[in-house]
Amino acid sequence: MLSKKIEKALNDQVRVEAESSQIYLAMACWAEVKGLEGVARFMFDQSDEEREHMLKLIKFINERGGHAQISALKAPNVTFNSFQEMFQMLHDHEVLVSESINELVHQSLQEKDYATHNFLQWYVAEQIEEEAMAKSILDKINLIGDDKGGLYLFDRDIQQLTVTSSASSSAV
């Protein structure tokens, strides 16, 4: 059974994951209209993954005697000055999500809620992967800068990354 405090904290995380999904969906749309199909596909996939993160939390809350709350979301940024800026935002957002997960882990220990603590370990591992991926993409795009040819190749490469990461996450 979840304490009210943990239930509230988990519901806050439901909102964070839902907002993440919307943020990446908006990035996907921007990339798509800019003609970068690979980047768009990557962002659509990221958005789907965030929705899965949200659903996993919702199921857990309801199964543990709580009530998952579906709440209003903050509107995401829909335009960007550059792909560099967009990937910087993705990276910074993942760092924020990690901080939020860490805070939840901390609270679960304070409340001696070991079931929730155990459940959250999946998110801890997932955030390590997501931050690492966001960082490596950001490093690449920063190297490319404004070079159009580089961006074209990057768009092709990122499709490969999407295939690889969905293959590894479906293996989990």
130 binds ligand FEO (CB under 6 A): yes
47 binds ligand FEO (CB under 6 A): no
CB 22, min distance to ligand FEO, A: 12
Give the three-class secondary structure for 61. helix
CB-nearer residue toward ligand FEO: 6 or 57 = 57
Given candidates 10, 15, 17, 45, which one binds ligand FEO under the rule CB under 6 A? Answer: 17
Indicate the residue whose CB is closest to ligand FEO.
Answer: 53
Given candidates 45, 94, 113, 155, which one binds ligand FEO under the rule CB under 6 A? Answer: 94
50 binds ligand FEO (CB under 6 A): yes
Q: Which residue ranges make up the site for ligand FEO (CB under 6 A)? A: 17, 20, 50, 53, 94, 97, 130
